[in-house]
Amino acid sequence: MNIEIKISKRPISYIAAIKYLKKRVNAIKMKKGKELLWILEHPTTYTAGIRSNNNEILDKKIKIINTNRGGKITLHNPGQKIIYCVINLNNRKKDIRKFITVIEKSIINFLKKYGIKSKSDRKNIGIWVKGKKIAAIGVRVNSWIAYHGCSINIKNNIELYKKIIPCGLSNKKITSMKNEGVLDIKNVNKNLKDIFSSNFNKF
């Protein structure tokens, strides 16, 4: 499969990124665009998925951006890697659960490279390390074109999660690679690119 890979070195605003993804979805619908794998970071941004509610906002002063992805309220901030994708399931398996599994597997493979053992959870979507959430997943499908993606906490400020009930999981804690003791975090973009593109190409 011919997936365009895009790596942004500067933070990209959430709204600009979603506009870009939607344009790519429409281009693929018209058979005028390639599939996309995009690795980036966002400035500090709180977003609310289609299953969120206002009770999950603990600090009423924060600005929330509503989005059409699955899931609830979450945080994006510097030091967290976002892996966005636009994948045409019409040319692959029309199986959203299997697509989510590919994303889960890719995150687990990535963390394993840094010595972190993690796992997925069917009840609480995302990737977990010792009962703490290290990665969030949110996907939307339009005409069997899947987009949005996942976020992985690398070395971001996870104290900012205290302003919300992240992903609706009030009794769960959030962690990061740095908090799990990985201090020498090198080649992040390259490893993400290699692992995600390889797994998507096999799907």
User: Positive or negative, the Cα torsion across 153, 154, 156, 162?
Assistant: positive
- Look up 167 and say whether it is catalytic: yes
> What is 113-179 written as a DSSP string?
HTT---EE-SSS-SEEETTEEEEEEEEEEETTEEEEEEEEESS--GGGGGGB-GGG-TT-EE--TTT
User: Positive or negative, the Cα torsion across 143, 11, 124, 177?
Assistant: positive
Residues 6+ apart with CB under 8 A from 92: 1, 203
In whole angstroms, what separates CA 155 from the centre of its chain?
15
Amino acid at 31: K
Could you tell me the CA-to-CA distances from 113 to 19, 60, 160, 202 in Å, in that order?
32, 39, 27, 20
Which residue among 127, 167, 192, 195 is the active-site one? Answer: 167
Q: Give catalytic residues, as residue numbers.
A: 167
